[in-house]
Amino acid sequence: MKVDRISGIFLFFLGLAVLLKSLTYPIGTLRRPGGGLFPLIASLLLMGLSALMTVQTFRPQEGEKTAPGTFFSGKEAPKRILLGFAALLGFRYLLPVIGFAPSTFVFILFLTKLLGNYRWKGSILFSVITSISAYYLFQVWLRIPMPRTIFGI
Protein backbone atom coordinates (compact mmCIF):
# COMPACT_ATOMS: atom_id res chain seq x y z
CA MET A 1 0.00 0.00 0.00
CA LYS A 2 2.93 2.34 0.56
CA VAL A 3 3.85 2.10 -3.14
CA ASP A 4 0.26 2.94 -4.11
CA ARG A 5 0.30 5.97 -1.84
CA ILE A 6 3.56 7.28 -3.30
CA SER A 7 2.37 6.55 -6.85
CA GLY A 8 -0.94 8.30 -6.22
CA ILE A 9 0.72 11.41 -4.85
CA PHE A 10 3.24 11.50 -7.71
CA LEU A 11 0.53 11.04 -10.36
CA PHE A 12 -1.62 13.73 -8.75
CA PHE A 13 1.20 16.28 -8.99
CA LEU A 14 2.02 15.15 -12.53
CA GLY A 15 -1.63 15.76 -13.43
CA LEU A 16 -1.47 19.16 -11.75
CA ALA A 17 1.60 20.11 -13.80
CA VAL A 18 -0.13 19.03 -17.03
CA LEU A 19 -3.27 20.95 -16.00
CA LEU A 20 -1.31 24.14 -15.42
CA LYS A 21 0.52 23.76 -18.73
CA SER A 22 -2.72 23.01 -20.62
CA LEU A 23 -4.15 26.32 -19.42
CA THR A 24 -1.47 28.14 -21.43
CA TYR A 25 -3.03 26.78 -24.66
CA PRO A 26 -6.40 27.76 -26.10
CA ILE A 27 -9.13 25.51 -24.68
CA GLY A 28 -11.81 26.21 -27.28
CA THR A 29 -15.23 24.57 -27.03
CA LEU A 30 -16.49 21.02 -27.38
CA ARG A 31 -17.51 21.77 -30.97
CA ARG A 32 -14.22 23.50 -31.79
CA PRO A 33 -11.63 22.19 -29.33
CA GLY A 34 -8.37 24.01 -28.91
CA GLY A 35 -4.95 22.54 -28.28
CA GLY A 36 -5.39 22.64 -24.51
CA LEU A 37 -8.74 20.85 -24.22
CA PHE A 38 -7.52 17.24 -24.40
CA PRO A 39 -4.61 17.72 -21.95
CA LEU A 40 -6.97 19.60 -19.61
CA ILE A 41 -9.50 16.75 -19.57
CA ALA A 42 -6.79 14.08 -19.30
CA SER A 43 -5.08 15.91 -16.41
CA LEU A 44 -8.36 16.30 -14.53
CA LEU A 45 -9.03 12.58 -14.92
CA LEU A 46 -5.50 11.72 -13.81
CA MET A 47 -5.77 13.98 -10.77
CA GLY A 48 -9.17 12.59 -9.80
CA LEU A 49 -8.20 8.94 -10.15
CA SER A 50 -4.85 9.40 -8.41
CA ALA A 51 -6.54 11.25 -5.53
CA LEU A 52 -9.03 8.38 -5.23
CA MET A 53 -6.18 5.86 -5.22
CA THR A 54 -4.29 7.84 -2.58
CA VAL A 55 -7.34 8.17 -0.31
CA GLN A 56 -7.97 4.42 -0.56
CA THR A 57 -4.48 3.68 0.73
CA PHE A 58 -5.35 5.38 4.02
CA ARG A 59 -8.46 3.25 4.59
CA PRO A 60 -8.02 0.05 6.56
CA GLN A 61 -8.61 -2.98 4.37
CA GLU A 62 -10.87 -5.49 6.11
CA GLY A 63 -10.15 -9.14 5.56
CA GLU A 64 -7.05 -8.52 3.49
CA LYS A 65 -4.61 -11.14 4.70
CA THR A 66 -2.41 -11.50 1.65
CA ALA A 67 -0.23 -8.92 0.02
CA PRO A 68 -1.45 -7.67 -3.34
CA GLY A 69 0.11 -9.40 -6.34
CA THR A 70 2.60 -7.67 -8.54
CA PHE A 71 1.68 -6.39 -11.96
CA PHE A 72 4.07 -8.84 -13.62
CA SER A 73 5.62 -11.78 -11.86
CA GLY A 74 9.38 -11.76 -11.45
CA LYS A 75 10.05 -14.20 -14.31
CA GLU A 76 7.51 -12.64 -16.68
CA ALA A 77 8.41 -8.97 -16.18
CA PRO A 78 11.30 -8.59 -18.65
CA LYS A 79 9.51 -10.58 -21.35
CA ARG A 80 6.25 -8.64 -21.00
CA ILE A 81 8.00 -5.29 -20.91
CA LEU A 82 9.88 -6.16 -24.10
CA LEU A 83 6.66 -7.37 -25.75
CA GLY A 84 4.92 -4.12 -24.79
CA PHE A 85 7.81 -2.10 -26.21
CA ALA A 86 7.76 -4.21 -29.39
CA ALA A 87 4.01 -3.57 -29.68
CA LEU A 88 4.61 0.18 -29.47
CA LEU A 89 7.29 -0.03 -32.15
CA GLY A 90 5.02 -2.18 -34.30
CA PHE A 91 2.22 0.39 -33.92
CA ARG A 92 4.58 3.17 -34.92
CA TYR A 93 5.73 1.37 -38.06
CA LEU A 94 2.31 -0.02 -39.02
CA LEU A 95 0.64 3.39 -38.79
CA PRO A 96 1.90 4.76 -42.12
CA VAL A 97 1.46 1.38 -43.84
CA ILE A 98 -2.12 0.37 -42.97
CA GLY A 99 -3.52 3.54 -41.38
CA PHE A 100 -4.60 4.72 -37.95
CA ALA A 101 -7.70 2.59 -37.21
CA PRO A 102 -6.31 -0.77 -38.42
CA SER A 103 -2.96 -0.30 -36.66
CA THR A 104 -4.78 0.73 -33.46
CA PHE A 105 -6.89 -2.43 -33.76
CA VAL A 106 -3.79 -4.63 -34.12
CA PHE A 107 -2.00 -2.85 -31.26
CA ILE A 108 -4.91 -3.17 -28.81
CA LEU A 109 -5.57 -6.78 -29.88
CA PHE A 110 -1.93 -7.62 -29.19
CA LEU A 111 -2.02 -5.98 -25.77
CA THR A 112 -5.29 -7.55 -24.66
CA LYS A 113 -4.73 -11.04 -26.04
CA LEU A 114 -1.03 -11.68 -25.59
CA LEU A 115 -0.19 -9.46 -22.63
CA GLY A 116 -3.57 -9.43 -20.91
CA ASN A 117 -4.44 -13.10 -21.54
CA TYR A 118 -8.08 -12.28 -22.37
CA ARG A 119 -10.25 -14.49 -24.58
CA TRP A 120 -10.22 -13.96 -28.34
CA LYS A 121 -13.84 -12.84 -28.47
CA GLY A 122 -13.38 -10.21 -25.78
CA SER A 123 -10.04 -9.06 -27.17
CA ILE A 124 -11.43 -8.61 -30.68
CA LEU A 125 -14.54 -6.80 -29.43
CA PHE A 126 -12.51 -4.46 -27.22
CA SER A 127 -10.04 -3.80 -30.07
CA VAL A 128 -12.82 -2.95 -32.52
CA ILE A 129 -14.53 -0.60 -30.05
CA THR A 130 -11.23 1.06 -29.12
CA SER A 131 -10.04 1.58 -32.70
CA ILE A 132 -13.40 2.98 -33.86
CA SER A 133 -13.61 5.27 -30.81
CA ALA A 134 -10.03 6.50 -31.30
CA TYR A 135 -10.67 7.11 -35.00
CA TYR A 136 -13.75 9.22 -34.30
CA LEU A 137 -12.09 11.06 -31.43
CA PHE A 138 -8.88 12.01 -33.22
CA GLN A 139 -9.75 12.12 -36.91
CA VAL A 140 -13.42 13.12 -36.97
CA TRP A 141 -14.02 15.15 -33.82
CA LEU A 142 -10.58 16.70 -33.18
CA ARG A 143 -9.61 16.64 -36.90
CA ILE A 144 -6.03 15.64 -36.19
CA PRO A 145 -4.33 14.72 -39.46
CA MET A 146 -2.83 11.26 -39.44
CA PRO A 147 -0.05 10.06 -41.74
CA ARG A 148 -1.11 8.84 -45.16
CA THR A 149 -0.74 5.13 -45.81
CA ILE A 150 1.58 3.77 -48.49
CA PHE A 151 -1.58 3.30 -50.57
CA GLY A 152 -2.27 7.06 -50.46
CA ILE A 153 -5.42 6.68 -48.36
Question: pLDDT digits over 83-113, tens only?
Answer: 889 999 999 999 888 988 899 999 999 999 8
Q: Which of 133, 91, 135 is nearest to 111 (CA)?
A: 91
pLDDT digits (tens, 9 = 90+) for 105-126: 999 999 998 888 889 999 999 9
What pLDDT shows up at residue 41? 92
pLDDT in tens, 54-74: 998 888 766 555 455 555 566
| C-alpha distance across the termini of the chain, in Å | 49
